[in-house]
Amino acid sequence: MRSQLEGSQAVARAVALCRPQVIAAYPISPQTHIVESLSDRVRTGELAGCEYLLVDSEFSAMSACIGASAAGARSYTATSSQGLLFMAEALFNTSGLGLPVVMTLANRAIGAPINIWNDHSDAMAMRDSGWIQLYAESNQEAVDLHVQAFRLAESLSVPVMVCMDGFVLTHAFEEVDLPTQEQVDAFLPPFVPQQLLDPDDPVTIGAMVGPEAFAEVKYLVHATQVAALDEVPAIAADFERAFGRDSGGLLKRYRLEDAETVVVALGSVLGTIEDVVDSLRDDGFRIGVLGITCFRPWPHDEVRAALGDATRVVVVERAFAVGAGGIVGQNVRDATRGLPVVVQDVVAGLGGRPITRTSLRGLFEDVVADRLDASHLHFLDLDVELVQRELARSRARRRSGPHAEHMLRDLGTVASGTPHGGG
Amino acid sequence: MPFQEIKLYQAGTFVAGNRLLDPEQRSVQARTGRSNSLTSGHRACQGCGEALGARYVLDAAMRATDGKLVAVNSTGCLEVFSTPYPESSWQLPWLHSLFGNGPAVASGVAAALRATGRDDSRVVGQAGDGGTVDIGFGALSGMFERNDDVLFVCYDNEGYMNTGVQRSGATPPGAATATTKALGPEPGNVFGQGKFVPLIAMAHEIPYVATATVAELRDLEYKVEKAMSFHGARYLHVFVPCPLGWRAAAADTIKLARLAKESGVFPVFEAEHGEVTEVSRIRRQVPVEEYLRPQGRYAHLFGDPGRPDVVARIQARADRNIARFGLLGEGDE
Ligand SMILES: Cc1ncc(C[n+]2csc(CCOP(=O)(O)OP(=O)(O)O)c2C)c(N)n1
Ligand code: SF4
Ligand SMILES: [Mg+2]
């Protein structure tokens, strides 16, 4: 059924259609509308038989999901940013134990400075936590990825994180085609756990493992993720057969035929990038886009194949490894090792900074003209003068005070602009 | 404790042999049908109070639930000495996740059992004092406040034993640990404000809170069975001497637990919905010194010249417990 819906509402409905049995969540912007809506659905009985735990923290949220999943319940949570980091220890535990918890991550920047707006630094910080990470380009895809995520998680006994850009998607009203309960039931069988806390057949879960088998247990976690490289496209193909929509999968290829330059990105920015690429194509540039839907596991071979004919790749990402460089870029460079291709890392859209068509067009023109130095990390629309003025202030006085305040004062912004109800 | 009136023939001990009791009054441990939930072969130190306490708690809970029990365990000695794979000592479904999340994991298990229509099965969460009163405290308070159907048991050995006997929020003043050594002008742990979690649990007005020691094991079993007769959040705080961490003789575990109670250092009581309902009275009061002296962690208080001032302050704390809980009041015991 097609309806005009806020992204969060659409995702909450999709999650409800997947019949989670335990939800444990803690509010944080911009995830709040999702968990509020699910709370309503449990209270009204629409989501029958589901237990909703109003936990004391994100750490407890993920911990409750761990207990619930091990006790045989389909378990779900949602969070953002600081909340994801507060879960960090439990995230690794979920994947190490092989528990198929599904989570929505409404992507948001990580402080300090505290900032509620979108970027990918939360998801990227946890990229090696053993969770599968799927990135939605649109609200329709966010809906579809959730339905697929439960099936994927349970088929491999692995936790899955569906990433959707905070505010950009969670708070955007778009037309979304929601599946029916019958469709979802036919696609997603009831949860049959691989391991179960069962008094009639007691098992010990989570005991200590020493050097004699630790590497092998961890290897299996890796092997399961690698198996997901087959399972993700298989489930997406099944989904297309059942729902008539191409959603999910490992990669999105856009105008890659004969492309010399390829833009790599993930999440909602792909739409804007595709528009810019269309206009560049109109002007005769041989440029295309490779969207990464599945970032973990990393589809190394598929990325390599998709970029095999390109001579220039520019990775536009909403996060970076401080002191090192691009994160997705590093993975792309690894996938293209030995190929005659130059990979550029461009950090864009941090902390909610809009990624505009104009800026992207300028960037791509620079890339195509080989004006970008590939040995550097680039920041799109960085206010270099603002940075330099602050560096000068720091040099002038040892106790110069907090950077963030100075820079906002410099810009003439009085307060940091966090709206009420945010945070 | 509504137990059968018995005559005590042995002087100096307050333990009645099972053979003196009617069969239905005998301890769970004395029954052939006991579950041995934490079975033999584990790696606890000789005389470990925590191993003893856990065995009694879980077997009693298993009996109370007719074997329909799931245990959740935080990281700590109990988790480590009862595993590693494949030599698990657990004969009930058992889940260990992390150090600080036991109560939340247990809440999740309880929710799952309800959601999947298996609410005839119940959940016990268990942790050391560190996992309960320090790192797991937020999760514990959340579980209490939501009144989730979990019995959470703290095995209080007054320190982080698993990592080598460091101070925890439950380490008593004056005690030497690896991070509060008997060094400097104020040797041993500081006199802080104290953090007696049973009282904090009561402030949540949860259905049932009790304390117990491994000196009175039938009382411990009774409290577990009573706890399992309630639904909602329940808390049991068990005093479990640790011979290794306390530098005490392995054979003195029960004695020390008894002296902790008889000196007033550790009050033993029950509370329902925030009100104290029963107190185990001191039968033969002893000065705290009698409890402190056998423990190496307090040795610096008794050297030459020793620290009688510190011992006096510890005595004052015990006296405060005695007054607050009425531990010496007119009783039937
Ligand atoms: C997050 C985290 N911090 C620290 C540790 C190290 N650690 C493991 S067990 C433990 C102490 C356990 O103390 P307690 O809960 O009192 O149990 P005990 O071993 O004394 O029975 C510590 C500090 C850990 N495993 N995880
Ligand atoms: S260190 Fe203490 S708590 Fe740990 S096993 Fe030994 S006696 Fe038991
Ligand atoms: Mg301890």
Read off the CATH number of the domain in which A128 is found. Answer: 3.40.50.970
Q: Is A383 on the interface with B (CB under 8 A)?
A: no
Q: Does A207 share its domain with A260?
A: no
With respect to residue A187, please indicate whether it lies within any of the assigned structural domains.
Answer: yes
CB contact (8 A) between residue A90 and residue B97? yes
**In terms of Cα–Cα distance, which of A66, A86, A218, A131 is closest to B97?**
A66
With respect to residue A397, please indicate whether it lies within any of the assigned structural domains.
Answer: no
**In terms of Cα–Cα distance, which of A130, A136, A127 is closest to A327?**
A127
CB distance B160 to ligand 1 below 6 Å: yes
pLDDT value for A340: 97
Q: Does B174 share its domain with B146?
A: yes
With respect to residue B288, please indicate whether it lies within any of the assigned structural domains.
Answer: yes
Q: Does B57 share its domain with B113?
A: yes
Q: Which residues of B281-292 are buried (b: 16+ CB within 10 A; e: fewer)?
A: bbeeebbbbebb
**In terms of Cα–Cα distance, which of A373, A309, A370 is closest to A336?**
A309
Total number of domains in chain A: 2
pLDDT band at B24 (very low <50, low <70, confident <90, very high): confident
Q: Is A45 on the interface with B (CB under 8 A)?
A: no
Q: Does B197 share its domain with B169?
A: yes
- Across B286-293, average pLDDT: 98
For B94, the closest chain A residue by CA position comes to: A204
Q: Does A131 share its domain with A202?
A: yes
Ligand of minimum distance to the alpha carbon of B75: 1
Task: Give B242 Cα–ligand 2 centroid separation in angstroms.
Answer: 5
Q: Does B237 share its domain with B143?
A: yes
Q: Does B8 share its domain with B147?
A: no
Spell out the SS3 assignment of B72-109: EECCCHHHHHHCCCCCCCECCCEEECCCCCHHHHHHHH
Q: Does A355 have pLDDT greater than 80?
A: yes
Q: Does B115 share its domain with B244?
A: yes
Domain that holds residue B55: 34-325
With respect to residue A399, please indicate whether it lies within any of the assigned structural domains.
Answer: no
pLDDT band at B11 (very low <50, low <70, confident <90, very high): very low
Q: What is the pLDDT of residues A368-377, one digit of tens each?
A: 999 999 999 9
Task: Give me the interface pTM, i.e. the ipTM.
Answer: 0.95
Decide if A157 contacts A224 (C-beta within 8 A). yes
Rounded distance, CA A58 to CA A383, Å?
A: 35
- Across A110-127, average pLDDT: 98
pLDDT value for B86: 87
pLDDT band at B85 (very low <50, low <70, confident <90, very high): confident
Q: Does A199 share its domain with A54?
A: yes
Rounded distance, CA A248 to CA A347, Å?
A: 24
Crossing angle for the helix pair B253-262 and B49-64, to the nearest 10 degrees: 80
Decide if A327 contacts A127 (C-beta within 8 A). yes
pLDDT value for B7: 56
Task: Give B136 Cα–ligand 1 centroid separation in angstroms.
Answer: 10
CA torsion through residues A37, A38, A42, A48, sign: positive
Reply yes or no: is the peptide bond before residue B305 cis, omega within 30 of 0. Answer: yes
Identity (one letter) of the amino acid at B248?
A: A
Rounded distance, CA A367 to CA B53, Å?
A: 69
pLDDT value for B31: 85
Rounded distance, CA B11 to CA A68, Å?
A: 51
Q: Is B200 on the interface with A (CB under 8 A)?
A: no
Q: Does A217 share its domain with A264?
A: no
pLDDT value for B12: 42
Helices and strands (DSSP H and E) totals, chain A: 15, 16
Q: B111: distance to nearest CA of chain A, Å?
A: 6
Query: In ligand 2, which atom is closest to the CA atom of B43?
Result: 5
Rounded distance, CA A395 to CA A403, Å?
A: 12
Q: Which residues surround ligand 3, an ion (CB under 5 A)?
A: B 128-129, 157, 161
Q: Does B27 share its domain with B60?
A: no
Q: Does A186 share its domain with A268?
A: no
Task: Give A353 Cα–ligand 3 centroid separation in angstroms.
Answer: 48
Read off the CATH number of the domain in which B64 is found. Answer: 3.40.50.970
pLDDT value for B329: 77
Q: Does B131 share its domain with B280?
A: yes
Domain boundary at A191, A213, A243, which?
A243
With respect to residue B332, please indicate whether it lies within any of the assigned structural domains.
Answer: no
With respect to residue A400, please indicate whether it lies within any of the assigned structural domains.
Answer: no
CB distance B80 to ligand 2 below 6 Å: no
Domain that holds residue A35: 2-243
Of residues B7 and A315, more confidently modeled: A315
CB distance B130 to ligand 1 below 6 Å: yes
Domain boundary at A362, A379, A396, which?
A379
With respect to residue A12, please indicate whether it lies within any of the assigned structural domains.
Answer: yes
Q: Does A418 have pLDDT greater than 90?
A: no
Decide if A153 contacts A191 (C-beta within 8 A). no
pLDDT value for B330: 63
Q: Does A98 share its domain with A123?
A: yes
Total number of domains in chain B: 2
- Of A62, A197, A201, which to mutate for an interface test with B (greatest number of B Cβ within 10 Å)? A197
- Across A88-94, average pLDDT: 98
Rounded distance, CA A99 to CA B98, Å?
A: 14
With respect to residue B240, please indicate whether it lies within any of the assigned structural domains.
Answer: yes
Q: What is the pLDDT of residues A31-46, one digit of tens each?
A: 999 999 999 999 999 9
- From chain B, the residues in CB contact with A101 under 8 A are none
With respect to residue A392, please indicate whether it lies within any of the assigned structural domains.
Answer: no
Decide if B152 contacts B235 (C-beta within 8 A). yes
Q: B124: distance to nearest CA of chain A, Å?
A: 12
Strands A204-205 and A160-165: unpaired
pLDDT band at B26 (very low <50, low <70, confident <90, very high): confident
Q: Does B13 share its domain with B49?
A: no
Q: Does A59 share its domain with A132?
A: yes
- Tokens in use for B248? 């005490």
CA torsion through residues A330, A331, A336, A342, sign: negative
The answer to whether the pTM exceeds 0.80 is: yes
Q: Does A200 share its domain with A67?
A: yes
Read off the CATH number of the domain in which A362 is found. Answer: 3.40.50.920
Rounded distance, CA A364 to CA A277, Å?
A: 9
Of A59, A64, A207, the CB nearest to B107: A64
Q: Does A300 have pLDDT greater than 50?
A: yes
Decide if A234 contacts A187 (C-beta within 8 A). no
With respect to residue A401, please indicate whether it lies within any of the assigned structural domains.
Answer: no
pLDDT value for A415: 54
Q: Is A301 on the interface with B (CB under 8 A)?
A: no
With respect to residue B331, please indicate whether it lies within any of the assigned structural domains.
Answer: no
pLDDT band at A414 (very low <50, low <70, confident <90, very high): low
Rounded distance, CA B144 to CA A242, Å?
A: 45
pLDDT, chain B, mean: 93
Q: Does B27 have pLDDT greater than 90?
A: no
CB distance B159 to ligand 2 below 6 Å: no
Query: In ligand 2, which atom is closest to the CA atom of B243?
Result: 7
Task: Give B192 Cα–ligand 2 centroid separation in angstroms.
Answer: 25
CB distance B81 to ligand 2 below 6 Å: yes
pLDDT band at B194 (very low <50, low <70, confident <90, very high): confident
CB distance B243 to ligand 2 below 6 Å: yes
pLDDT value for B303: 86
- From chain A, the residues in CB contact with B90 under 8 A are 202, 204
Q: Does B291 share its domain with B169?
A: yes
Q: For atom 6 of ligand 1, which residue has the closest CA?
A: B163
Decide if A380 contacts A317 (C-beta within 8 A). no
Q: Does B120 share its domain with B256?
A: yes
Of A71, A90, A205, the CB nearest to B112: A71
pLDDT value for A171: 98
Q: For atom 13 of ligand 1, which residue has the closest CA?
A: B160
Residue A374 three-state SS? coil
Domain boundary at A211, A243, A275, which?
A243
CB distance B131 to ligand 1 below 6 Å: yes
In B93-214, alpha helices (H): 102-115, 129, 137-146, 197-203
CB distance B44 to ligand 2 below 6 Å: yes
- Across A68-77, average pLDDT: 98
Q: Does B63 share its domain with B10?
A: no
